[in-house]
């Protein structure tokens, strides 16, 4: 199984933040494709794990790492929609228990250049450098935590009053910043408007955690009321209410858990109405597609009877089509052992035959996957390397470790302009090739001489200028 190392990627190490389910709040503005640039010159920024969502239809997060420990001080994210980023304090183990610290969420738009530095209490500050933006609006949680530390306040997890005091403190900080004109009137007003939803959601979560009945006076917000969608806090509240009040807990193993997506979907379908229902159903279907595929077709058929937006149905139909292609590819390659399938011809061949095919050339193998952000970041350097070596006995071969055929095809079409040497490894989870070269993390590169011998099992990345010199020595 692929694992993560430094600026490498793996789906098993992706942090699934709790708000993944709540990505679709309102109509998302679309921009021309641009890059969001994240950079740091602060040596105190050693290791930040950035969980990134570049689309409202994205369920799994993309993981980026930034800091001196990862030898990465700049990263670029291509997007056409606002980008949501969550950053978490490193998890610590104290007395055998996992201890979590701060957790910040940011929202930037394509074209922003964001400078990251470490502020007080070893917490990061994100500052948009190329536009006039409020430092305090972008880093509200940072200033809230600083205020709490200055007051010496900490939450008592057994007291709902303590939880409410923590939320009240947040609004006191907000009021103070507004009076000093450090946040805009519109930001201040929008934050205050969300307060009833946050307070009610907080109360529901507290009583649910204590296995107690939620007081009726905390449940006065109307359900499935489309006029409330103008408030950012309404859909998160709706989700909290349905999972924390309307649906029973599920029994799984030794403990009890919040209801899964299927009961949530069915509740919204039967009890819901209007645009609110449509948004919740669509968001849930994305998760069902990702985590409960066996139920996707049935749920999609039900959703199609109440869907209020044909573009959403078209998108979900495309997902279904991709799933069918993935299944067909999986079945067709099930008997293939350690075979590479050509993107251009669809033919399969062994890794040995591939190397034999290019004997007499220096070969650079790029192991990557569509979900690997660092892999994608190296693609432009890989393309430039090919141009720099044009006319030389040299070839770059791309080998995808994607499990989903459709994801590979889509990413390859987007990032690999010459597909003559683009392949996917059939059945990567069981392929001996993975063990042979210890491909525990990606991106990963092999450098092979003209005689077909692997001379570097962990070759330099395309972005490393020294790589070109290593290649020239073999030519």
Are 274 and 218 contained in the same domain? Answer: no
Backbone angles phi, psi at 78, to 5 degrees: -85, 130
Are 178 and 110 contained in the same domain? Answer: yes
Residue by residue, DSSP assigns 203-254 as: HHHHHHHTT-PPPGGG--SPSS-GGGGGSTTHHHHHHHHIIIIISPPEEETT
Looking at residue 233, its pLDDT comes to 92
Are 306 and 192 contained in the same domain? Answer: no
Are 158 and 234 contained in the same domain? Answer: yes
CB 252 within 8 A of CB 275: no
Half-sphere exposure of 164 (CA within 13 A, CB side): 11
Q: Judge whether 250 lies within some domain.
A: no
Q: How far apart are CA 166 and CA 168, in angstroms?
A: 5
Question: In total, how many domains does the chain have?
Answer: 3
Looking at residue 65, its pLDDT comes to 83
Are 349 and 469 contained in the same domain? Answer: yes
pTM recorded for the entire structure: 0.69
Backbone angles phi, psi at 345, to 5 degrees: -105, -20
Q: Judge whether 70 lies within some domain.
A: yes
Percentages helix, strand, coil for the chain (3-state, rounded to 5) are 45, 20, 35
- Mapped onto helix, strand or coil, the DSSP state of residue 99 is strand
How does pLDDT run along the chain (475 residues), one tens digit per residue? Answer: 454 344 555 433 322 333 333 333 344 555 677 889 999 999 999 988 888 888 877 766 788 888 888 888 988 888 888 999 999 887 665 565 555 678 889 999 999 999 999 999 889 999 999 888 889 999 988 888 888 777 765 656 567 777 787 788 888 888 989 999 999 999 999 999 999 999 999 999 888 888 888 988 889 999 999 999 999 999 999 999 999 999 987 665 544 455 689 999 999 999 999 999 999 999 999 889 888 888 999 999 999 999 998 888 888 888 787 777 767 666 655 555 668 888 888 888 888 888 888 989 999 999 998 888 788 888 889 999 999 999 999 999 999 988 888 888 888 888 887 778 899 888 777 778 888 888 877 889 999 999 988 899 889 999 888 999 999 999 8
Q: Judge whether 253 lies within some domain.
A: no
Are 220 and 276 contained in the same domain? Answer: no
Strand partners, 64: 50
66-86 as b/e: b if 16+ CB within 10 A? bbeebebbebbbebebbbbbb
Q: Judge whether 28 lies within some domain.
A: yes
Q: Judge whether 6 lies within some domain.
A: no
User: First-to-last CA distance in the chain?
Assistant: 34
Are 165 and 28 contained in the same domain? Answer: yes
Are 301 and 397 contained in the same domain? Answer: no
- Host domain of residue 443: 339-474
Q: Judge whether 270 lies within some domain.
A: yes
Strand partners, 257: 250
* Whole-angstrom Cα Rg for the chain: 25
Looking at residue 19, its pLDDT comes to 34
Are 140 and 267 contained in the same domain? Answer: no
Q: Tell me, what CATH number does 441's domain have?
A: 3.40.30.10
Q: Judge whether 171 lies within some domain.
A: yes
């Amino acid at each position: 199984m692929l694992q993560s190392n430094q600026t490498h990627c793996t789906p098993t190490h992706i942090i699934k933040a709790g708000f993944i389910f709540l990505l679709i709040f309102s109509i998302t503005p679309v921009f021309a494709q641009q890059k969001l640039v994240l950079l740091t010159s602060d040596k105190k920024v050693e290791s930040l794990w950035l969980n990134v969502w570049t689309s409202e239809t994205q369920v799994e997060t993309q993981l980026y790492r930034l800091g001196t420990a990862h030898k990465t001080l700049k990263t670029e994210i291509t997007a056409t929609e606002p980008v949501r980023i969550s950053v978490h304090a490193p998890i610590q183990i104290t007395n055998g228990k996992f201890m979590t610290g701060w957790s910040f969420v940011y929202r930037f738009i394509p074209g922003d250049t964001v400078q990251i530095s470490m502020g007080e209490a070893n917490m990061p500050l994100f500052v948009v450098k190329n536009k006039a933006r409020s430092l305090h609006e972008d880093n509200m949680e940072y200033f809230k935590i600083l205020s709490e530390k200055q007051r010496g306040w900490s939450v008592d997890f057994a007291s709902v009053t303590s939880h409410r005091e923590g939320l009240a403190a947040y609004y006191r900080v907000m009021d103070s910043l507004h009076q000093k004109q450090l946040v805009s009137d519109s930001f201040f007003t929008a934050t205050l408007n969300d307060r009833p939803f946050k307070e009610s959601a907080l109360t529901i979560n507290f009583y649910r955690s204590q296995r107690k009945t939620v007081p009726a006076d905390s449940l006065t917000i109307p359900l499935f009321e489309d006029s409330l969608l103008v408030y950012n806090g309404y859909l998160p509240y709706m989700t909290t209410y349905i999972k924390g009040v309307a649906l029973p807990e599920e029994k799984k193993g030794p403990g009890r858990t919040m209801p899964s997506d299927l009961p949530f979907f069915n509740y919204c379908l039967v009890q819901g109405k209007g645009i609110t229902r449509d948004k919740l159903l669509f968001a849930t279907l994305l998760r069902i597609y990702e985590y409960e595929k066996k139920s996707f077709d049935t749920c999609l058929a039900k959703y199609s009877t109440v869907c209020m937006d044909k573009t959403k149905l078209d998108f979900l139909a495309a997902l279904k089509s991709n799933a069918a292609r993935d299944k067909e590819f999986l079945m067709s390659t099930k008997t293939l052992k350690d075979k590479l399938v050509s993107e251009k011809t669809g033919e399969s061949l062994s890794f040995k035959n591939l190397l034999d095919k290019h004997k007499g050339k220096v070969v650079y193998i790029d192991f990557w996957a569509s979900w690997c952000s660092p892999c994608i970041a190296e693609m432009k350097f890989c393309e430039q390397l090919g141009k720099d070596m044009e006319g030389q006995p040299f070839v770059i071969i791309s080998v995808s470790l994607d499990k989903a055929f459709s994801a590979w095809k889509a990413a390859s079409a987007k990032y690999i302009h010459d597909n003559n040497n683009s392949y996917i490894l059939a059945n990567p989870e069981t392929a001996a090739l993975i063990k042979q070269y210890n491909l525990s993390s990606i991106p990963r590169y092999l450098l092979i001489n003209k005689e077909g011998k692997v001379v570097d099992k962990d070759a330099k990345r395309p972005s490393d200028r020294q790589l070109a010199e290593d290649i020239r020595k073999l030519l």
